[in-house]
Structure 1
Amino acid sequence: MKGILLTAGKGSRLYPMTKATNKALLPVYDKPLIYYPLDTLMQAGIREILIIISPGNEDAFEELLGDGSDLGLSITYKVQVEARGIADALILGKEFIGSDDICLILGDNIFYHPKIKEMLQITEKEMDGAVVFGYWVEDPRPFGVAEFDEWGRVVSIEEKPQNPKSNYIIPGLYFYDNQAIEIAQNLKPSQRGELEITDVNAEYLQRGQLRIIPMEKDVLWFDAGNADRLFRASEAIRRLQQDGRYIGCIEETAYENGYISLDHIHSLGERIVMTEYGQYLKELK
């Protein structure tokens, strides 16, 4: 399975912070926002990752992550010249994906749970068609909403409905088999002029191949797409790390997955030893 990390949005809800930079490069407590979705892909055991970026940000992402070799990954980049919606990432990534399955994650989504690795890796093993997650929120209107029947089967999926049929939304983490490329290529733009990821999910639903897993209530999830959510995400991560649970540390995940050695992670920490982050890496055992 390969991973696609989509960071090409304009971040207009975060202006003026994002007027001169990509929102995935903004800090969320002690790390750039992109570290968190990248860590989620790594927790799923994915090592080949395509990062889709907006024009003009190539050098910044290259400086931050390079080709991924420091983490035992293979990272490549592709520019999305025109913002055509989330599902466009599947078309842009066609050559990268090849004949593999795909995990697509949005660059402003943060997930945390002590057992998230088990949750994501079980999903990959059991995947047949498409797997997405259901997350309960008080106000689901800004999101894609999933309606379930009394047996837990998906009845409908709607994108940003004014009158939601449930409080379960689909956060920005999607597991697809290779059919997703063909489905995305046959989509028509929505009224917003975009290729909607909800329409990809709806097609899998029509084919009887969409599985939705409700997330546990103690899963931490943030869509850090506006200033308030970005701030609350930083606060939550700060609290967790003060309690001894380090979140979004891509070097630690690479080490735990066996991608890099303990000596290498210590050398990465030495480069930034003047920071608490670097000291944390140097103290790992």
Structure 2
Amino acid sequence: MKALVLSGGAGTRLRPITHTSAKQLVPVANKPVLFYGLESIAAAGIRDVGIIVAPDTADEIRAAVGDGTRFGLVVTYIPQHAPLGLAHAVLIAREFLGDDDFVMYLGDNFIVGGITDLVEEFRATRPAASILLTKVPDPRAFGVAELDVDGRVARLEEKPGNPRSDLALVGVYLFTPAVHEAVRSIEPSARGELEITDALQWLIDDRRPVTSTVVSGYWKDTGNVADMLEVNRSVLELLTPRNEGTVDAATEIIGRVRIGGGATVRGSRIVGPVIIGAGTVVENSYIGPSTSIAEDCRVTDSEIEYSIVLSGSSLHGVGRVEASLIGRNVQITPAPPIPAAHRLVLGDHSKVQISA
């Protein structure tokens, strides 16, 4: 069995972070989202992985992942010149996939607990395809599945205006080679993409077995800031405390806190779960729960909570920051003082009251 990991896409909902970085490499608990998926694939016993890359971010993905050795994988990179749909990704990966079964994994998705059980079940039963579903409050932003009275997949639709159910497709799909005929047989959708939902519907209409599993664990599409912060929180809840840095006696550490090598914490209060990267300096500050601070950052005379700070950034003298995603090499400081004054243009015989 092989894996096809999708790491293209512009990441428009995470701009401006993704103007300079691939969305799959934005870190959760100081580790790129993409790495969690690759680790799950390796844990499921899969070794051959094809990674779909876009022109703008291909070099960055290659530099981060390399040949896959660090994950116990053998990685092949497959260029996609434009984001033309998930089914298009399967189409251009045909040579790599051959006649093997495969799991398709969206590189910006996050599933707590991994995919090992799902892969083992698929290997045992081998339907034409197997999909993961989860209930969402607004299905219009997702591919949506409709089940029949017996719980079988009856219909799939991509981002419907009037969803027939609240069951959204999670970004992990399992396929036998039957899907190759399906992706060759469908036409681009109204938005110009080859939709994987249309390929799955083709399999259903051709009476090929398509099974589904409702995800019982935690799943998030990390395509926007709110979801990134929530995934970061959930990962930090499982954090193993460790201190590889230097913490002075004036610092108070409460709960699960991990401090990287070469990091320094002085005169501060850290309330976990918190992760502080290597080489970072925290001084006279408060770091609150669900916060990830990457390597080589500096936080002085500031407060921050429920946030992600990327490498090389600094906060100095800012009262409080929360629910924020701060990019690389950012500097946050107080605004310069502005004299309090009123500028007036008043007509004749005006009456104005100004607070002292």
CA distance in 2, matches of 1:73, 1:274: 30
Is 1:128 equivalent to 2:127 in the alignment? Answer: yes
Note the C-alpha offset of 1:153.
Answer: 1.8
Tell me the equivalent position of 1:22. Answer: 22
Partners of 2:186 and 2:202 within 8 A in 1? no
CA distance in 2, matches of 1:231, 1:43: 25
For 2:189, give the aligned amino acid: S
Note the C-alpha offset of 1:184.
Answer: 1.2
- Pair 108,163 (structure 1): closer, same or farther in 2 beyond 3 Å: same
Q: Whose RCO is larger (CA < 8 A, sep 6+)?
A: 1
Q: What secondary structure sits across from 1:61 in the alignment?
A: helix
Tell me the equivalent position of 1:52. Answer: 52
Unaligned 5+ runs, structure 2: 243-259, 264-274, 279-356
Matches within 5 A, 1:240-259: 240-241=238-239
Matches within 5 A, 1:86-97: 86-97=86-97
Partners of 1:43 and 1:120 within 8 A in 2? no
Q: What secondary structure sits across from 1:172 in the alignment?
A: strand
RMSD: 2.3
Tell me the equivalent position of 2:99. Answer: 99
Note the C-alpha offset of 1:138.
Answer: 2.1
TM-score (norm 2): 0.65
Note the C-alpha offset of 1:277.
Answer: 10
Partners of 2:182 and 2:200 within 8 A in 1? no
Tell me the equivalent position of 2:116. Answer: 117
Q: What secondary structure sits across from 1:87 in the alignment?
A: helix
Q: What secondary structure sits across from 1:195 in the alignment?
A: coil
Partners of 2:110 and 2:222 within 8 A in 1? yes
Tell me the equivalent position of 1:6. Answer: 6
Tell me the equivalent position of 2:166. Answer: 167
Write out per-residue CA displacement over residues 128-183 of structure 1, whole angstroms, 9 at most, x where no aligned residue.
21111121222211111111122112221111112211111111111111122222
Higher strand share: 2
Partners of 2:38 and 2:71 within 8 A in 1? no
Question: Which stretch has the larger CA shift, 169-178 or 36-45?
Answer: 36-45
Q: What secondary structure sits across from 1:134 in the alignment?
A: strand
CA distance in 2, matches of 1:278, 1:117: 30
- Equivalenced residue count is 250
Matches within 5 A, 1:119-158: 119-158=118-157
Note the C-alpha offset of 1:66.
Answer: 1.1
Tell me the equivalent position of 1:71. Answer: 71
TM-score (norm 1): 0.81
Moved over 6 A (4+): 275-279
Tell me the equivalent position of 1:233. Answer: 231
Tell me the equivalent position of 1:254. Answer: none
CA distance in 1, matches of 2:276, 2:103: 28
Identity of aligned residues (%): 34
Note the C-alpha offset of 1:17.
Answer: 0.7
CA distance in 1, matches of 2:105, 2:121: 17
Unaligned 5+ runs, structure 1: 245-271, 280-285
CA distance in 2, matches of 1:123, 1:191: 32
CA distance in 1, matches of 2:129, 2:118: 15
Partners of 1:36 and 1:109 within 8 A in 2? no
Is 1:197 equivalent to 2:191 in the alignment? Answer: no
For 1:95, give the aligned amino acid: E
- Pair 129,274 (structure 1): closer, same or farther in 2 beyond 3 Å: farther
Partners of 2:133 and 2:215 within 8 A in 1? no
